[in-house]
Every structure is written in structure tokens, then in C-alpha cells.
Amino acid sequence: MNQKITINTLKEMKEEGIKIACLTSYDACFAKLQDKAGVDLLLVGDSLGMVLQGDDNTLKVTISDMIYHSRLVSGVTQRAIIVSDMPFMSYSTPAQALGNAARLVSEGGAHVVKIEGGDELSQTVRLITQHGIPVCGHLGLTPQSIHQIGGFGVQAVSNKAAKELEKDALSLQEAGASCLVLECVPSSTAASVTKLLDIPVIGIGAGIYCDGQVLVLHDMLGLTPKQPKFSKNFLSGNDSIFDAIEEYVNQVKNNSFPTPSNSYE
């Protein structure tokens, strides 16, 4: 699949059972490699606060940071769709969210903006999408709420929490979200949400039954000191970064990654 990836392409991939390979991307050098290696979706993540800026969380990342890095990635990408995170407190009201989403698209070159949260953001999602900007939701572990949820742990473990997650996912879809990231939830819960929704579900630490997978670039290259359970060092055993990225894409596409050892049951 060499044509330009769009929101419609992602939905078609879900319908046809073609896995969506995604990675975070922060600069032109890596974006070129990722695009050439066949990554379908480049996520300009606020994870840059941790992997590039050296902080313990994502909370210090600004909208200016996100616009800058989105511009670097979008300037060289030819095939992949670009999704950019809206950082902490950049969408606290629908009007503020619309203004910042517009900047990510017009100044940063993003195709889609991503926000963390559930039903409480339905009005925000509706307003942004009504103005022609696609939105990606994010449920499960939401790093911008790290102080409220008490750390980087598995979410939606109880039946009640899993049902709440499903309700939030349906609410986001109904409000107009075009896709959804599910982070650190049990595989069975992610499978239920993926089956429930018409829009593509991208997992990170959410098992193999999602419509696609995303990892932080620095994790999958083995550059972070502590490898998350849900990640894998794809550079190990490969001769180059390009080969490692291509191997990641292949393993996502042929459904050999993630394995149960990279998942939560």
C-alpha cells in the first residue's frame, strides 16, 4: 500500500483486517526512515517530554513544542498520516481546544489531533470535527492524568471499569472521533472495544486484537533505560535502524507482535 494514508484509508484497513502500524515520530530524520519503512501512522507524541526533554512525565510539553515537532515530521512525510498530540491543558475548554487544534493543523501540518479523555470530552470532539479537523481519542492509561490516576499502571481491570471504558469509547465515536488509542488495558477489554467500534482502535499495551499497534520510537529501538513490558527492542538482531523499523512494521502486519508477554491479561 503505497498511496497516501488518510482517515478513510485507516477505516478501510480495519474493515479489511489489515493491521495498522504506528510509531511516535519527532523529527525529520526519523520521520523519513519511518515513512520509507512503511509505517502507516506517525504519532507526534507529547511523549517527547520524556524521551527528548528528559522529564518524568508529559506535563511540561507546550502547544509550541507540539507545533514545532509536528512541522518537522510533516515537512518530510509523503505517505503516512500524521497525528499530533494536544498537550496538557491545551483543550480545557472546547473553544481553547478548537484554537489549538487549528494551530497544529495549519502551523504544524498535522492531519489529525489526539486528545486524552472520555465522555467528558464529547462536546470538544464534536466542535473540533465540525470544523473539519479529525480527532483521535485516547483511553485507558492517559499520561496527562498521571497524578490523578496514581501512576503508570494497567487500567480498566475490573468489570465495572471495563464497561466505563466501553461507554467512553462509544461516546467519542458518536461525537465524531475518527480513531482511538487504547493504552495499557487487558487484551480482552481491548478486544471488546475494538469489536464494538466502527472506527480503528490502535493499541499500546492493549494486546493483539486491536486494529493496529503503536510504540514509542525510543522504546522499540532499545534507547530507553527501562523497557516497558508492552514494548520490544527491534534493533536487537537487525543491522540498522531502518531494518528495525521495517521489522516492527512486518511483525505488526503479520500479527506476530505483540505477543502475550507484551500484553496484559
**What is the residue extent of each domain of the chain?**
7-262
Name which of 58, 39, 62, 47 is nearest 219 in CA terms: 47
Cα 37 from Cα 33, distance rounded (Å): 6
> Each residue's pLDDT tens digit in the chain (265 positions)?
578 999 999 999 999 999 999 999 999 999 999 999 999 999 999 999 999 999 999 999 999 999 999 999 999 999 999 999 999 999 999 999 999 999 999 999 999 999 999 999 999 999 999 999 999 999 999 988 877 766 667 898 999 999 999 999 999 999 999 999 999 999 999 999 999 999 999 999 999 999 999 999 999 999 998 889 999 999 999 999 999 999 999 999 999 999 999 999 8
The pLDDT score that the predictor gives to residue 150 is 63
Catalytic residues: 183
Residue of 10, 71, 12 whose CA lies nearest to 41:
10
Angle at the Cα of 87 from the Cα atoms of 82 and 91, rounded to 5 degrees = 105
Beta strands 112-114 and 135-140 are parallel
Residue 72 zone, left/alpha/beta (φ > 0; ψ -120 to 50; rest): alpha
Q: Does domain 7-262 have CATH number 3.40.50.720?
A: no
Cβ of 109: how many Cβ atoms within 10 Å?
A: 18
Report the alpha-carbon angle 16-40-200, nearest 5. 45
* Residue 105 contacts residue 83 (beta carbons within 8 Å): no
Q: What is the pTM of this model?
A: 0.96
